[in-house]
Amino acid sequence: MDFLNALILLLNYIVVPALSYGSQLALGAIFVTLIYGILRFANFATGDMMSFGTMFAVLLTWYFQSLGISLGVLPTALLTIPFAIIMMILYMLTIDKFVFSYYRIKKSPPVQLAMVSIGVMFVTQAIVRIIIGPFDRRFFDGERFIIKANEFKEMTGLNEGLSIKSTQVLTIIITIIVVSILFWFLNKTKTGKSMRAYSDNEDLALLSGIDPKRVVMITWMIAGILATIGGVLYGLDKSFKPFTYFNNMLPIFAAAIVGGIGNPFGAFLGGYVIAFSEIFLTYAYKKFFTYVLPESMEPDSLIQLLSTDYKFAVSFSILVIVLLFRPSGIFKGKVL
């Protein structure tokens, strides 16, 4: 029995990956929840908007690399995020002006807007594929690892190594910074409060003199920041492939709904709930039990509840269970 090795094993294969994957989902889920809370529709173009923003980061990374600009040990892509965000926001505001605003002014039902967003999704997908193509792109540069598995083994003398990728740490740190700024903005500034008021009671917000156009514009700007940062972090950690981003929409929506749609803090926590569930249920625990159980009881099989191919089934099941038993989300608290 060797609990320390078992613990490192879980840290290495479950906790660290789930924290970074959860952060990426959390950013997307807050994006979904903000659009739902303020513009009042489920934005099915979420995944593809994230890939649109990331595409600019990838293109600019290549450009910066060709100019010889780099951040040393950090990925060059971090430098490109502000520019990619600007492109993303411009795209979102253009789409809003030419597509969504028409239905908003007509006061179309939310389902109609959701359908419209599916149209936006297809168009966005096509644009991304025309510009950068459907292939898998890696745009990470700089130092890959903060701690390598064999270095860790040498340092501690344990059998199990703990490897921590720089992208995982970057993801977690940047997510915490972005989310903290967002919550400060929503709760402490006049503009942020007016957005929450608009989301809470649109008619009364109008009677109080809150300008709906400004609220909508700022919502898209925040959405653009969240979509681009979330997309770039995911792309750095794994790779940039437009189809994967489209696929990520399911866990992102699951996270937003688990947290109670319209509730940004719930969406933030929901990201981690989904990420941990996916990884917990698809991890093969054979080695873990080899460490924990006495030799006579060592398992023969992989002890894997679900094959990793089924990881989307996990988010989907959580989604269905939450909608059946706690449709307002598992976290109590204020909306937006």
Closest distance to another protein from the beta carbon of 193 (Å): 5
b/e code 214-238 from CB counts within 10 Å (16+ = b): ebbbbbbbbbbbbbbbbbbbbbbbb
For position 213 contacting another protein by CB under 8 A, the verdict is: no
Q: How far is the CB of 58 from another protein (least distance, A)?
A: 38
Site stretch for another protein (CB under 8 A), options 108-116, 196-204, 238-246, 323-331: 196-204
Shortest distance (Å) from residue 89 CB to another protein: 24
Q: Is 264 left (phi over 0), alpha (psi -120 to 50) or beta?
A: alpha
User: Does residue number 205 form part of the binding site for another protein (CB under 8 A)?
Assistant: yes
336 in contact with another protein (CB under 8 A): yes
Quick one: which of 209, 295, 296, 325 contacts another protein (CB under 8 A)?
A: 209
Pick the closer one to another protein by CB: 162 or 216: 216
**Restricting to residues 113-132, which ones interact with another protein according to CB under 8 A?**
none
Give the interface segment with another protein, choosing from 20-28, 161-169, 198-206, 240-248 (CB under 8 A).
Answer: 198-206
Among 94, 159, 208, 307, binds another protein (CB under 8 A): 208
Q: Find the binder of another protein among 94, 150, 180, 201 (CB under 8 A).
A: 201
Contact 233, 94 (CB under 8 A): no
Cα(121)–Cα(116) distance, integer angstroms: 9
Residue 216 or 336: the one with the smaller Cβ distance to another protein is 336
Q: Given the rule CB under 8 A, which of 75-83, 190-198, 295-303, 311-319 is the region that contacts another protein? A: 190-198
Per CB under 8 A, does 206 bind another protein? yes
Tell me if 204 contacts another protein by CB under 8 A.
yes
Q: Which of 190, 295, 296, 297 binds another protein (CB under 8 A)?
A: 190
> Which single residue is written with the structure tokens 């608290």?
333
218 near another protein (CB under 8 A): no
Residue with smaller CB distance to another protein, 172 or 217 = 217
The residue range among 50-58, 78-86, 157-165, 195-203 that interacts with another protein, by the rule CB under 8 A, is 195-203
Which of 148, 193 has the CB closer to another protein?
193
Give a three-class secondary structure readout of the chain: CCHHHHHHHHHHHHHHHHHHHHHHHHHHHHHHHHHHHHHCCCCCCHHHHHHHHHHHHHHHHHHHHHHCCCECCECCHHHHHHHHHHHHHHHHHHHHHHHHHHHHHCCCCHHHHHHHHHHHHHHHHHHHHHHCCCCCECCCCCCCEEECHHHHHHHHCCCCCCCEEHHHHHHHHHHHHHHHHHHHHHHHCHHHHHHHHHHHCHHHHHHCCCCHHHHHHHHHHHHHHHHHHHHHHHHHHCCECHHHHHHCHHHHHHHHHHCCCCCHHHHHHHHHHHHHHHHHHHCECHHHHHHHCCHHHCCCCCCECCCHHHHHHHHHHHHHHHHHHCCCCCCCCCCC
Least distance in Å: CB of 248 to another protein?
Answer: 29
**267 scored as a contact of another protein (CB under 8 A):** no
Q: Of the candidates 193, 238, 286, 326, which one interacts with another protein according to CB under 8 A?
A: 193
Which of positions 14-73 make contact with another protein (CB under 8 A)?
A: none
Q: Which residues bind another protein (CB under 8 A)?
A: 190, 193-194, 196-197, 199-201, 203-210, 334-336
